[in-house]
Amino acid sequence: MATSAQSRPVLRFEEFEVDLRSCELRKRGERLRLQDQPFQVLRMLLENRGEIVGREELKQKLWPADTFVDFDDGLNTAVKKLRDTLGDSTEHPRYIETIPRHGYRFIGTVLPQQHVAAPVARSRNFS
């Protein structure tokens, strides 16, 4: 499907919509607050849905090579924030499955990618 400059790709799963271009997550149309690192984890999981995304692959995406952080703690925190936002759990995952010592996998059902019109800024006439 051809897209115009006025549309953008949106992935949907259950009541969630993920706009990969604007980095927005919505639930039933309402925008949810999600920091950049948890959003990037979600992006990688969605782009590789059904497949294991390794911890090392996530580390390379989220932290530049010259960054010195406690990677394990940082990644665990990002995944926890993402799960909290999605209402997901480690014990009974609906979206993010932990693969011990390997990484994570997106297990939710993603609807085919759709393109939606970009919002148009409207001016208000106060006369």
Is residue 98 situated within a structural domain? Answer: yes
Residue 68's pLDDT is 65
Q: What is the chain's mean pLDDT, rounded?
A: 84
pLDDT category at 71 given cuts 50, 70, 90 is confident
Specify if 11 maps to a domain.
no
pTM: 0.79
Q: What is the CATH number of the domain that holds 74?
A: 1.10.10.10
Residue 69 binned pLDDT confidence (cut-offs 50, 70, 90): low
Q: Which helix (H) or strand (E) holds 57?
A: helix 55-62
pLDDT digit string, tens, across residues 79-103: 999 999 999 999 999 999 999 989 9
In a domain, 54, yes or no: yes
* Chain length of the chain: 127
**Cβ pair 58, 44 in contact under 8 A:** yes
pLDDT at residue 113 in the model: 65
Top-confidence range, 39-43, 59-63, 116-120, 123-127 = 39-43
Q: Number of C-alpha atoms within 13 angstroms, CB side, residue 20? A: 15
pLDDT at 115 over 60: no
Q: Greatest CA separation found in the chain?
A: 63
Is residue 123 in a domain? no
Cβ contact 97:90 at 8 Å:
no
Structural domain containing residue 62: 35-111
Distances (CA, A) of 10 to 2, 13, 43, 83, 126: 14, 10, 11, 20, 34
Q: Return the percent helix, strand and coil in the chain, to nearest 5.
A: 30, 30, 45
Residue 60 lies in a domain: yes
Would you say residue 78 lies in a domain? yes
Q: Show Cβ contacts of residue 73 under 8 Å, excluding neighbours closer than 6 positions.
A: none
pLDDT in tens, 26-56: 999 999 999 999 999 999 999 999 999 999 9
The domain tally of the chain equals 1
